[in-house]
Amino acid sequence: MLSKKLTIFNKELRNRIGMPPMDTLMGNDGFANDFHIQHYGSRSYGGYGIIIVESTAISKEGKIREKDLGI
């Protein structure tokens, strides 16, 4: 069952295995960096059908921790 494809909003996922959001606390001034590319990229090659990235603050005051991502 987990290996079956799944379609969500016209996007086909290769399987039903998902990675939930987890804070890495590796942002630099709110920006993603090479760590994030490596971290999420390796998990996508690892076989997850969907990856939900970590929390992203919409303002500086909205950050939970100093190294959180933000916009």
- At residue 35, what is the residue type? F
Helices vs. strands in the chain: H and E counts, helices first:
1, 6
The three-point CA angle 52-19-14 to 5° equals: 95
Q: Any idea where the domains of the chain sit in the sequence?
A: 6-70
pLDDT of residue 71: 84
69-70 and 56-57: which strand pairing?
parallel
pLDDT of residue 60: 87
- Along the 71 residues of the chain, how does pLDDT read in single tens digits? 899 999 999 999 999 999 999 999 999 999 999 999 999 999 989 889 999 999 899 998 999 889 999 98
pLDDT of residue 54: 93
This model's pTM is above 0.85: no
11-13 and 6-8: which strand pairing?
antiparallel
